């Protein structure tokens, strides 16, 4: 199965991985923190702001792969503090509408990006 590494022109990944890869009619989006591409820094200190920025970044990654948030079939959210669940959900509900993609939320001890409250990864199915 051929793989296409999608150039996103956002911020550089913080490790040896690609932001997005197309393969088998799907787009795989790596776990991404809420980094503002203009500054390279987290968009804010709180889960709501970071979730909004993360989903904007994912939207841009999907667009670079000729897909959109409407094509997302699964999301995984990794939260440093499960108490951020409500604020993450508030921002999430502003981006997605019913029927929602499948989703998994996991509480984690830490993330590689200092100050990151969460990361989100996604899988989308390409049309046609």
Closest CA to 47 of 109, 118, 105, 121: 118
**Domain of residue 94, CATH code:** 3.30.1330.40
Does 16 score more than 80 pLDDT? yes
Any residues with CB less than 8 A from the CB of 64 and at least 6 apart, and which?
6, 7, 8, 9, 20
Domain count across the chain: 1
Give percent of the chain above pLDDT 70: 100
Q: What tens digit of pLDDT does each residue of 29-80 get?
A: 999 999 999 999 999 999 999 999 999 999 999 999 999 999 999 999 999 9
pLDDT of 15 reads 84
User: Range with the lowest mean pLDDT among 4-13, 68-77, 98-107?
Assistant: 4-13
């Amino acid at each position: 199965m051929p793989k296409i590494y999608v150039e996103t022109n956002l911020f550089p990944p913080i490790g040896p991985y690609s932001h997005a890869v197309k393969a088998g009619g799907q787009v795989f989006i790596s776990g991404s923190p809420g980094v503002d591409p203009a500054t390279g820094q987290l968009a804010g200190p709180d889960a709501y702001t970071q979730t909004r920025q993360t989903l904007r970044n994912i939207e841009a990654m999907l667009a670079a792969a000729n897909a959109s948030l409407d094509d997302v079939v699964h999301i995984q959210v990794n939260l440093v503090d499960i108490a951020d669940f409500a604020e993450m959900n508030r921002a999430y509900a502003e981006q997605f509408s019913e029927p929602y993609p499948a989703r998994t939320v996991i509480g984690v001890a830490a993330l590689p990006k200092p100050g990151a409250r969460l990361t989100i990864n996604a899988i989308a199915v390409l049309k046609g």
